[in-house]
A = this chain, B = another copy of it.
Amino acid sequence: MRYKLYYWPTIQGRGEFVRLALEQAGATYTDVARRSERSGMGVAAMMRLIEDQRNPSPSFAPPFLQAGDMVIGQTANILLFLGPRLNLVPEDEASRLWAHQLQLTIADLVTEVHDTHHPVSSELYYKDQKPEARRRANDFTAVRIPKFFDYFESVLARNPHNEPYLLGDKLSYVDLSMFQIIAGLRFAFPKTMKRLASGYPHLMALHQLVASQPRIARYLASTRRVPFNQQGIFRHYPELDK
């Protein structure tokens, strides 16, 4: 199966959680919006599919994935679909639901990261919501990151297989997403993350373990990995990182 991923071409954003799964599995995929419009792809192709009135399952927003006849939206839903096909989640239903539950909790955290720089409106620039962003980011770094990290650290510590993964006895797509969260938070909130690191040894070890997977390491060093920047979900504004 050749997959087609549709996501904004200039940011990691939510699409990155899907890219990491495809890369780790060595899947064949086209990152459509990053290809040229001359070739019939690019952002124009993505917008055509979003706006196509004949598409019976339109997405509210990117990312979405085309797999044969199916078009699947919502990041966690795409991973729910891909997980078994890419051999990145255990076989049994209970494990798959547990993996998905963790992925949805990661998705909640991603939304909170976004809202540190856009607490009022996605339609406004950061500079037009700076006082609100400062208050929200203070709460996020002081209260919310520790709350989420306490949770994920305890999930790692109690993995019944006694393995360094969030679930089961091999790497899953949830581990890849957790890697991305830690990488992103280190970019956006380096001071906070430096302060917190020693309290979360399992999480930091998981980040390292994922980064050292051969396919992931090659991907991260390639031009397929969009660099972190100031347009994505993870942005580094020093004034928000106390």
Check A123 for interface membership: any CB of B closer than 8 A.
yes
| Given A72-B101, A101-B73, A154-B58, A120 contacting B119 (CB threshold 8 A) | yes
**Residue in B69, B100, B136, B143 whose CB lies within 8 Å of A74:** B100
CB-CB < 8 A to A160: which residues of B? 56
Total copies of this chain within the assembly: 2
Q: How large is the interface on A (under 10, 10 to 19, 20 to 34, 35 or more residues)?
A: 35 or more
Cβ of A208 within 8 Å of any chain B Cβ, yes or no, is no
Choose the segment among A17-25, A75-83, A180-188, A197-205 that binds chain B (4+ C-beta atoms closer than 8 Å).
A75-83
The distance from the CB of A188 to the nearest CB of chain B, in whole angstroms, is 18
Chain A positions 101 through 126: 1 when the CB is less than 8 Å from some CB of chain B, otherwise 0: 10011001001000100011101100
Q: Check A155/B58 contact, CB under 8 A, given A123-B143, A139-B121.
A: yes
B136–A135 touching, CB < 8 Å? no
For residue A59, CB closer than 8 A to chain B, the reply is yes
A:49-71 near B, CB below 8 Å:
53, 56-60, 69-70
Kindly identify, within residues 126 to 170 of chain A, every residue whose CB is under 8 Å from any CB belonging to chain B: 129, 132, 135-136, 139, 143, 148, 151, 154-155, 158-160
Q: A58-B151, A77-B97, A77-B100 are in contact. List 15 more A-B contacts (CB 8 A).
A: A56-B160, A57-B94, A58-B158, A60-B108, A69-B94, A74-B105, A80-B100, A104-B104, A108-B111, A115-B115, A119-B119, A119-B136, A120-B132, A124-B139, A129-B135
